Amino acid sequence: MTSEDRTSEDMLKAAAEAGDINPLYTVILQDNPHVLEKIDLIPFIETPLHVAVSAGHVHFATEIMTLKPSFAEKLNPQGLTPIHLAIELGHITIALCLVHINKDLVRVKGREGLTPLHLASQKGEITLLIEFLKACPDSIKDVTVRNETALHIALRHEQYAALQVLFRWLLTNTRIGATHLERTILNWKDEKGNTILHVAAVNNNTEAVKLLLKSWMILDFKNLEGQTTLDIARSEDIKMLLVKAGSRIKVVMKIRSLQTLTVEWMVWKSGMREVVSEEARNAYLIVSTLVATATYQAALSPPGGLYQTDADTNNTLSHVAFNSSVNEGKSIMSNKHFMVFSTMNASAFLVSTMIIIALLPPRNVVWILVILSILLLQLTYTNVVLQISPTTLTTEVVNWIFQALVFILIAGISAVYIA
């Protein structure tokens, strides 16, 4: 750089330190219009954006980044970008402003491969973690030069609150490929072959182990020294937790008595979670709701109608034969036809409600209320069919069928809650 360029650079740094925007435009519009481009050509330099961020000047930082967006990705001699610097110094507002302008900054790597998400995890900055994941969900995939995820970093620096945020986000994420991402990140190995469960166990972090065992953790993964989490656990409490969780099986599952049905449902539900786009999800929800509505209405008004009688006139409704008061409210179909109809109709109703459950974003109060309402609707449906069954024998058979279907529904709901 020429002496003129150095003078302009010094003026820019002075303006950045003071947070004064006017000298900035004086330099670039009058003295040296190309000074920003020349600064940008130098690798590992303290740009005016670095200076403004260090001084905590939000408006100047926003202004200079708007003029020269590439400054936001420049590393200073310490290997830090401006957003890394903002997090290091605790300038949360500036960090959020920079990400608001350019969401991809969440994935910019600095010294040792640390991204802003990694640094926020290391510092335990909960607000930044939430906003970074919201702005750039794919940032959860980034690893450091030690092959550590943000969860590894949170554990290594004893930031349990940060670990909780990252963990809950993975479990509640409903984007395409969410299930695969959850299992991949939670079972990711660092350069020493340690998963986050290994790190939690070796650090005697009982609360972290309890938290992680609520998810799809592979418990018998071995690190490069051939040790599982049970092998390296120092605390007897942690060892007991691992043994109870089944440390010699591949995947933690809470409903072992329903293993076959649950696994099949989880696989199907996971597939829905991974491959269904937002548009397709909405379309499936509409179709499933229509099917559930139609089948429920069919149960209330089965083909051929119901026996009805008028106590005063003994008149019957059209197309409905009068039998006796014993059959009042019962289906006029034969036992065989009623069983076929009710079983097929109930199956369609059950499948449609399970699709609705699978497509709803889980783990919030509204989701729980929706699940409760669907379950109550299913029980109401069962009661309706039992009331209109033509004979006692048919009622008993249909009763067993519907009890089995409701049992499957409850198992499916439990599977969704775990998955």
- Any domain includes 64: no
Give the pLDDT confidence score for residue 347 in this predicted structure.
82
Give CA–CA dist 255/412, Å, rounded: 11
Give the pLDDT confidence score for residue 103 in this predicted structure.
96
- Any domain includes 379: yes
Give the pLDDT confidence score for residue 258 in this predicted structure.
42
- Any domain includes 13: no
- Any domain includes 395: yes
Structural domains of the chain, count: 1
Give the pLDDT confidence score for residue 256 in this predicted structure.
39
- Any domain includes 316: yes
Give CA–CA dist 221/252, Å, rounded: 13
The three-state secondary structure class of 290 is helix
Cβ burial of 196 (10 Å; 0-12, 13-18, 19+) is buried
Give CA–CA dist 242/237, Å, rounded: 9
Q: Does residue 63 contact residue 25 with C-beta atoms inside 8 Å? A: no
- Any domain includes 404: yes
The three-state secondary structure class of 228 is coil
Give CA–CA dist 179/172, Å, rounded: 10
Query: In this predicted model, what pLDDT tens digit does every residue of 155-164 receive, in sequence order?
Result: 999 999 999 9
- Any domain includes 167: no
Segments of the chain scoring below 70 in pLDDT: 1, 4, 247-278, 309-327, 361-365, 391-419
- Any domain includes 49: no
- Structural domain including 397 reads 259-418
